[in-house]
Amino acid sequence: MENPARRDILKAGGLLGALGAFAAAAPARARPWRWSPSGSVPGTGSGADPRTVWDDEADPLVASLLDRGDVPRVNELLRSWTKNGQPLPDGLPDDLRDFLEHARRLPPWADPGLLETAVRFNEKRGLYLGVLYGFVSGMMSTVIPEEALAVYYSKGGANMKRRISRTAKLGYDIGSRNAYRPDGEMIVTSVKTRLAHAGVRNLLPRSSHWANLAPEDVPISQHDMMVTWHSLPTSVMRTLRQWQVPIPEDESRAFLHSWQVSAHMLGIRDEYIPATWDDAESQAREVLDPILAPTPEGQKLADMLLDLGRGLDFTLLTRPILGALTRFALGDEIADWLHIPREPVWGTLLDVAWGPFIAVREGLLPLPPAPEAYWTFDEFLRQFVLLYMSELRPISIEIPEHNNPN
């Protein structure tokens, strides 16, 4: 809802002051926040509505970096900081250094044993995770209205492949063998993302598009963060269950744990991070499922996403096939919102043969009932993993300095 007082604060400039004022002048919302912190990792919390909470450490820090003109220098310096155990580069401003040293620490509740088991899960399920992180979660993000708006009107919004690479980079890092170990990259990726989000919170409110369209004044609240979080692990787990992929209890728990840790490292308060899959489901039913809706921006982003394989040597990652996959994985309603036409051949093939294909791959059926379909699906998954490893991998996450110039 429009809040003129907050808009005036923004127009008057002074980012630090403005962010402080936002936190104080939180909008009254019609629908109360119900999810109880008793279902969170610590099992307790203030119960504050996460739509009124952003990141009170990173946001003022990045506001100050932007005000001081330090962002280009800081981005340049941080480019060489890639490994979790690597010392921070010399020359960073003191306030940023202090923040990073603090933000890079894993939470005390991070469980190394569970993180190890998560590696096993990721290795066993890597073939499915390629398509799920690399495409299905990205497609879902286009029907999360506030995220679609934020992404479309911020710096990287015009380039959907870049947007997918960011989720892919995170998915790749979290799934890698050394994710949270000193030689891994997940901590660095998460902390840099935290800074990038703080940049967006500072910059996007200056965009006239955002000011005219957005239902909230400052983007990427803790609530938005949890919505997007559910489009990742919760949606992945829902889809794997729907496909009847057998997942041992300890691996399912470990997969959740690796994403709980990542939520913390991204600056989400522990009181909003679900403790179990049941808690995650109850929160997703409250925050994710009811808010999915089409927007013109999301439709344009989805359109770009369907061309993900264009110009590349992946014969199965074509627009019609990716459209059929979207309809199959996310359902008719979302596919219709995104104006994705029905694809008779691939649509039918997925409807009829995907279930048996998974059963054969998982050793639950002895022989492929339709061998051609089996090998085609196997190749399809393999092409996603290759796309994921080659095209989508190498990105350097940076603090944006401006919005989408278009």
What residue ranges bind ligand HEM (CB under 6 A)? Answer: 146-147, 150-151, 154-157, 162, 166, 170, 193, 196-197, 200, 219-220, 224-225, 228-229, 266, 397-398, 400
Distance of CA 229 to the CA centre of its chain: 6
Structure tokens at 9: 């604060």
Residue in this structure with the two tokens 């909008």, named with its chain if needed: 27
Q: How far is CA 146 from CA 151, 269, 287, 290, 360, in A?
A: 9, 20, 12, 13, 40
Residue closer to ligand HEM (CB basis): 239 or 404: 404
Q: In the bound complex, what is the minimum distance in angstroms from residue 149's beta carbon to ligand HEM?
A: 8
Of 156, 157, 159, 154, the residue nearest 207 (C-alpha)? 154
Residue closer to ligand HEM (CB basis): 286 or 378: 286
Q: In the bound complex, what is the minimum distance in angstroms from residue 258's beta carbon to ligand HEM?
A: 12
Residue closer to ligand HEM (CB basis): 154 or 202: 154
Burial of 31 (0-12, 13-18, 19+ CB in 10 A): exposed
Residue closer to ligand HEM (CB basis): 157 or 298: 157
Q: Distance between CA atoms of 344 and 1, rounded to whole angstroms?
A: 42
Q: In the bound complex, what is the minimum distance in angstroms from residue 287's beta carbon to ligand HEM?
A: 11
Q: In the bound complex, what is the minimum distance in angstroms from residue 233's beta carbon to ligand HEM?
A: 9
Q: How far is CA 304 from CA 138, 206, 231, in A?
A: 11, 25, 19
Q: Distance between CA atoms of 156 and 160, rounded to whole angstroms?
A: 8
Residue closer to ligand HEM (CB basis): 128 or 133: 133
Residue closer to ligand HEM (CB basis): 300 or 342: 300
Which residue, judged by CB position, is nearest to ligand HEM in the bound state?
Answer: 156
Residue closer to ligand HEM (CB basis): 96 or 399: 399
Residue closer to ligand HEM (CB basis): 170 or 334: 170
Q: In the bound complex, what is the minimum distance in angstroms from residue 203's beta carbon to ligand HEM?
A: 9
Q: How many CA atoms lie within 13 A of 309 on its CB side?
A: 20
Q: Distance between CA atoms of 122 and 120, rounded to whole angstroms?
A: 5
Paired with 40 in beta bridges are: 274
DSSP assignment of 322-366 equals HHHHHHHHH-HHHHHHTTPPP-HHHHHHHHHHHHHHHHHHTTSSS
Residue closer to ligand HEM (CB basis): 185 or 343: 185
Q: In the bound complex, what is the minimum distance in angstroms from residue 156's beta carbon to ligand HEM?
A: 3
Measured between its terminal Cα atoms, the distance across the chain in Å is 25
Q: In the bound complex, what is the minimum distance in angstroms from residue 222's beta carbon to ligand HEM?
A: 9
Q: Distance between CA atoms of 312 and 33, rounded to whole angstroms?
A: 45
Q: In the bound complex, what is the minimum distance in angstroms from residue 325's beta carbon to ligand HEM?
A: 22
Residue closer to ligand HEM (CB basis): 55 or 343: 55
Q: Distance between CA atoms of 237 and 249, rounded to whole angstroms?
A: 12
Q: In the bound complex, what is the minimum distance in angstroms from residue 405's beta carbon to ligand HEM?
A: 11
DSSP H helix total and E strand total for the chain: 20, 0
Q: In the bound complex, what is the minimum distance in angstroms from residue 23's beta carbon to ligand HEM?
A: 17
Q: What are phi and psi of 403, to 5 degrees?
A: -90, 180
3-state SS assignment for residue 39: helix
